[in-house]
Amino acid sequence: MIRAGIVGGTGYTGVELLRLLLPHPEVEVAVITSRAEAGQRVDAHFPNLRGYGDLCYTPPDLAELDTLDVVFFATPHGVAMDHAPGLLAKGVRVIDLGADFRLADAGLFARWYGMAHRAPEALAEARYGLPEYYRKQVGEARLVANPGCYPTAVILGFAPLLAEGLLEDGGLIADCKSGVSGAGRAARVDLIFPEVADSVNAYGVSGHRHRPEIEAVLSDIRGSGLELQFTPHLMPMIRGIHATLYGQLRRPLSDAALQDLFARRYAGEPFVDVMPFGSHPATRSVRGANVCRIALHQPRPGRVVILSVIDNLVKGAAGQAVQNMNRMFSLPEEMGLAHIALLP
Ligand SMILES: NC(=O)C1=CN([C@@H]2O[C@H](COP(=O)(O)OP(=O)(O)OC[C@H]3O[C@@H](n4cnc5c(N)ncnc54)[C@H](OP(=O)(O)O)[C@@H]3O)[C@@H](O)[C@H]2O)C=CC1
Ligand SMILES: CC(=O)N[C@@H](CCC(=O)OP(=O)(O)O)C(=O)O
């Protein structure tokens, strides 16, 4: 059995990790941390986990984490970078659901996250945990940077066309909507029910920290630098990300050729569903499942619109982290991730 620890076990992604890892046939969750709830039973706070053991929260303690096989950091940025080097030195593998190791360039990290990177050596060895594009690297990694939720939806949608050099540089747009759980569980007035219900707003239009992540990864996949407009919106729903991606083709492609390109690129990928051409995937169709559903449109010749939906807490966070763990420990990638989305 893989002995796993979760740092940040009271947040939405930490609890989602528990939902996926407690029934995982090859994993024993040995440590779950919370500073605020140390000593409390996990299922006293999260009754959906009753019947899955008697785990209690402990304070984050490096000596205890040192003894594990893998530690997941489901913490705000700036936490994992302080612990990862010590854990790696003890042979513990690390998966960070936060942003500490996503931007390979420490200068870029400092600019967007407002803090100097405190573990540049670990940053240099971290691998970006999007198995559909970095499967081999994830399999060999000791430290995996789990992608951001918006970047997962945007990259999986844009990458097949960009990798083939089929999109013009100008006019790449990612217009995205997120459920409120994307902002985490910490109390904030702008996230209480009367503030978010029955209303929609854009935010971060002039610059959101996921933009450099998306641009860096798509540039890497394409093999040359690119820029895009990323516009996130907060939606009055709990889970889900819906990305509407706009691009202009460099040369004419029929609808059937477009569809075939995506179908071939994601053939055999257990967690990417290329829907019939012209479909309109709903976030509801991925709720609770580790899947990204993609649909293609070409409303006018050359204008491509790609729709990509994920559950931010599953394929956008905890599910992808388990997929990465499976890969790092040479288990089948689908293990423990066979959930069908909740409908309605
Ligand atoms: N929500 C989402 O949809 C997604 C989130 N992410 C990222 O995953 C990470 C976790 O997100 P989320 O679950 O939403 O966050 P939450 O705010 O819901 O939870 C944060 C958790 O981290 C713990 N924590 C906070 N500060 C520290 C610290 N200094 N040391 C140790 N533990 C700490 C908290 O517990 P306590 O304070 O009691 O120790 C809590 O359990 C973030 O980096 C986020 O950006 C990534 C993709 C999607
Ligand atoms: C709705 C909402 O507020 N979403 C968050 C992004 C999700 C997240 O947690 O950020 P990471 O993926 O970088 O870890 C935001 O826009 O800041």
CATH 3.30.360.10 domain range(s) in the chain: 149-312
Token couple for 302: 């050359």
Output the residue whose Cα is nearest ligand 2's atom 2.
183
**pLDDT the model gives residue 28:** 98
* CATH of the structural domain 149-312, one choice from 3.60.70.12, 3.40.50.300, 3.30.360.10, 2.60.120.260: 3.30.360.10
**pLDDT the model gives residue 134:** 98
**pLDDT the model gives residue 285:** 98
Token couple for 231: 């516009």
For ligand 1, the distance from its centroid to the CA atom of residue 342, given in whole angstroms, is 24
CB atoms within 10 A of CB 89: 10
Q: In the chain, where does DSSP find H-type helix?
A: 12-21, 42-45, 62-65, 80-89, 106-113, 120-125, 131-140, 149-163, 193-196, 210-222, 255-265, 319-328
CA distance 127 to 121: 12
Check: CB of residue 307 under 8 Å from CB of residue 244.
yes
- Of 245, 309, 317, whose CA–CA distance to 283 is shortest? 309
Residues with CB under 6 A from ligand 1: 7-14, 34-37, 60, 74-77, 79, 97-99, 148-149, 181-182, 184-186, 312-313, 316-317
196 lines ligand 2 (CB under 6 A): no
Find the largest Cα–Cα distance for the chain: 62
Q: Which helix (H) or strand (E) holds 229?
A: strand 229-234
CATH 3.40.50.720 domain range(s) in the chain: 2-125
**pLDDT the model gives residue 144:** 98
Residues in contact with 217: Cβ distance below 8 Å, sequence separation at least 6, in sequence order:
128, 130, 133, 147, 151, 155
pLDDT in tens, the chain (344 residues): 999 999 999 999 999 999 999 999 999 999 999 999 999 999 999 999 999 999 999 999 878 999 999 999 999 999 999 999 999 999 999 999 999 999 999 999 999 999 999 999 999 999 999 999 999 999 999 999 999 999 999 999 999 999 999 999 989 999 999 999 999 999 999 999 999 999 999 999 999 999 999 999 999 999 999 999 999 999 999 999 999 999 999 999 999 999 999 999 999 999 999 999 999 999 999 999 999 999 999 999 999 999 999 999 999 999 999 999 999 999 999 999 999 999 98
Tell me what ipTM this predicted complex has.
0.97
**pLDDT the model gives residue 62:** 78
For ligand 1, the distance from its centroid to the CA atom of residue 13, given in whole angstroms, is 7
Q: What is the pTM of this model?
A: 0.98
Check: CB of residue 163 under 8 Å from CB of residue 179.
no
**pLDDT the model gives residue 103:** 98
CATH no., domain 2-125: 3.40.50.720
